[in-house]
Amino acid sequence: MRRSPVAGAALLCLTGAFLILWTFPILWGLLTSLKPELEVLAYPPTLFFSPTLGNYRDVLLGATTILPNLISSLIIATAATVLSMLFAIPAAYALARLKLPAGRGAGFYILATQMLPPVGLIIPYYLVLQRAGLLDSYPGIILIYLTFSLPFAIWLLVSYFEDIPREMEEAALIDRAGRLRAFLYVVLPQVRGGIAVTSIFVFLNAWNEFLFAVVLGGNNVRPVTVAMFNFVSVEQTLWGKLAAAAMIAMAPVILLGLLAQRHIVKGLTAGAMKGGGRG
Amino acid sequence: MANRTAAIAAGERAFALSLFLPAFLVLVLITTFPLVYLVWTSLNRIDLAMPWNSGFAGAENYARMFDDPRFWHALELTLIYTSVTVILQVLIGLGLALLVSRIPVGQGLLRVAVIVPIVLAPVVVGLFWRTLVLAPDFGIVDFVTRALGFGSHNWLGDPQLALISVIAIHTWQWTPFVFLVLLASLAALPIEIFEAARLDRASAWQRFWHITLPLIRPAIVIVIIMRMMIALSAFAAIFAATGGGPGTATEILNLYVYRTSFDALNFGYGAALGVVLLVITLGVSFILFRLRRSR
C-alpha cells in the first residue's frame, strides 16, 4: 500500500465520525433513560449524573406500564413467525428445488405481493376485519401480518434451499413417501441455519410493525410500537420514560440483529438479488 | 422406461404443488382478495362522516383528485422524498463503503454498529428524532447548532425544515443498508484486477470509474430498486415525527391516504388514493426491472 499515514488517519477519523453518527442517538437515549426527569431537561445537557432506574421501574411497573404491550408484541411476533415458517418452508422448497408447475409465474406472484403498498391494503383489511368482528383481536392482526412476513420468508428461504447440494435427495425422489422423507430428513436438517436466520428476521419485522397495529389494534391488542405514544403528546413529552420504553422495545431487536449479524446482507436483499429472475 | 420417468416427473409436480399450494392460497386470501376489494372500495362513496351518502360512485373518487390541490402536493412531496432519500443513501453509502473497504482497522466495528439503525422500528426512530434529536432547546441537533452559533430552530415545526428533517431521518436509518450491501459486493470483487491496474499505473479515480463501478453496478441497481420501494412505502417514521405536518408540509401520499381514510374516515376517496399509490409503486418497479434487464 502506497497510502500516506495522513490519508490513513483521515480515513479513520471519517469512519469514526460515521460510527458516532449512527450510534450516538441510541447512546444518548440510553443516557436519558437513566436520568431523573429534572436532569433530562438540563441545559447544557449533563453527561455526569447519578443514574437511576426509576424510569424503567415506572414504564414496567408503574401506572403507565408497557408490560401488557410487550406481551402483546411477543404474542403477535411469535405467532406470525411460526405461521409464516409453517407455510413458507414447504413453499420455498417447492420453488427452489422441485418442478413446480408454472414455477416462474409462482415466484413472480410472491415477489409482486411484496410490492403492494401497505397503506393501500390497510383500508380493505380494516373494512373486512370490522365486518368479521376481528378488529382488535389477535387472530385478525396475526393473519394480516402474514401479508409481509410470508412473502419475505419464502424468498429468503429459497436462497438457502438453493445453497445446499442436490445429490443427496435425488435418490429418494422416486415416490411420494420418498419425496416427503427426503424433504423432512435430508433437506430440512441442511437448512436449519437458514430457517433460524429467516425466523429471526421475520420476528424482527413483526415486532417493529406499526401501521397495521395502530389501525387494526385497540385496547386489547396494542403492541409496544403503538404504546410508545403514551409518553408523547402535544402538551408534553415524558422524556425519561419515553427513552426507557424505547430502550426496552429496542433491546430484543438489537440483540437479534447482532445475533444474525453475518446474515444481515442476505436478509436485507431477500429475493432481490434475483430480482424476480425466475419471473 | 420413458413411461416411468414421466410418472416420476408427474409425481414430483404433484408433490411440489401440494407443498406450494397452502402458502399460495393464504397469499391470495390476504393480498389478492384485499387488492380487489380496495379497487371496489375506490369506486364507492364510503364516507363515515356522511354515511347516508354511501353507494356506487363510479369514477367519482378519481375525478375528484384532479381538483384536489392536497393530492398534487402529496404527489410532489412523494417524488421529492423518494428521490432525495434514495440519492442521499446511495451516494453516502457507496462513498463510505469505498472508503471503509480499504481500511483494515475499525471496519468490523462499523459493520456491527450500523446494524442498529437498520433493525430499529421506524416508528421508534421517528419518536426518538422528534424528541431526543430534534426537539428545540433539548435535542442533540439544537445543542450542536446553538454551540456552533447557528441558533435554535424548530426542526419539525417549520414547514421547510420539517421536510428536510424527515428526509434526514429516513437517510439516517437506511444509509447503513446501502453501505452494508455495497461493502459486501466490494469485498466479493477479485483482487487481482486491482493489482493489475495498479501495476499499469491507473489512478485511483480511473480504477474506480473503469473497474470498480462497472463491477458493482448490478448491486447498485438492485439497491436503488429496493430503496425506492421502501421509500415509496415510508410511513411510520414520518407519522411519529410530524404526523404529516406541520399542516401538510411532510404529507407524502402514504400519509395522505392514511389521514383521508382513518382521520377523515372517507374510505372511498382514501381507497382511490391507495390505488394511485399502488399504480405508482408497480409502475416504478416495472420500469426499474426493465432497465435492469436491458443492461
| Set of chain B residues whose Cβ sits within 8 Å of the Cβ of A90 | 19-20, 22-23
| Set of chain B residues whose Cβ sits within 8 Å of the Cβ of A209 | 121
- List pLDDT tens digits, range A138-165: 999 999 999 999 999 999 999 899 888 8
- Yes or no, beta carbons of A117 and B233 under 8 Å apart: yes
Using CA coordinates, name the residue in chain A closest to B272.
A120
- Yes or no, beta carbons of A18 and B8 under 8 Å apart: no
**What pLDDT sits at residue B76?**
96
**What pLDDT sits at residue A169?**
64
Alpha helices in A98-238 (DSSP H): 103-113, 118-132, 138-163, 167-170, 176-181, 188-190, 192-208, 211-216, 224-227
Question: H/E element holding B73?
Answer: helix B69-100
Gap between the Cα atoms of A41 and B8, Å rounded: 73
**What pLDDT sits at residue A175?**
63
Span A172-184, mean pLDDT?
A: 74
Gap between the Cα atoms of A75 and A262, Å rounded: 27
- Yes or no, beta carbons of B8 and A232 under 8 Å apart: no
pTM to 2 decimals? 0.91
Name residue A175's amino acid: D
Using CA coordinates, name the residue in chain A closest to B133.
A25
SS3 at position B45: strand
Residues of chain A above pLDDT 70, percent: 91
**What pLDDT sits at residue A278?**
29
Whether A108 has its CB under 8 Å from any CB of chain B: the answer is no
Using CA coordinates, name the residue in chain B closest to A90.
B19
Q: How close B258 gets to chain A, by Cα (Å)?
A: 7
- Asked if B273 contacts B252 with a C-beta cutoff of 8 angstroms, the reply is no
**What pLDDT sits at residue A267?**
79
pLDDT averaged per 10 residues, chain B (length 295): 76 89 96 95 88 83 93 96 97 92 78 90 93 83 84 86 95 94 88 78 82 88 89 94 90 95 93 95 85 67
Whether A185 has its CB under 8 Å from any CB of chain B: the answer is no
**What pLDDT sits at residue B280?**
93
- List pLDDT tens digits, range A110-133: 988 888 889 999 999 999 999 999
Span A212-219, mean pLDDT?
A: 94
How crowded is residue B50: how many other Cβ atoms within 10 Å of its Cβ? 11
Query: Which of A116, A131, A148, A234 to mutate to test binding with chain B, by most B CBs within 10 Å of its CB?
Result: A116
**What pLDDT sits at residue A272?**
62
Gap between the Cα atoms of B108 and B116, Å rounded: 14
Nearest to B120 among A3, A24, A250 (CB): A250
pLDDT confidence bin for A279, thresholds 50/70/90: very low
- Asked if A233 contacts B243 with a C-beta cutoff of 8 angstroms, the reply is no
ipTM score assigned to the predicted complex = 0.91
SS3 at position B56: strand
Nearest to B131 among A90, A242, A268 (CB): A242
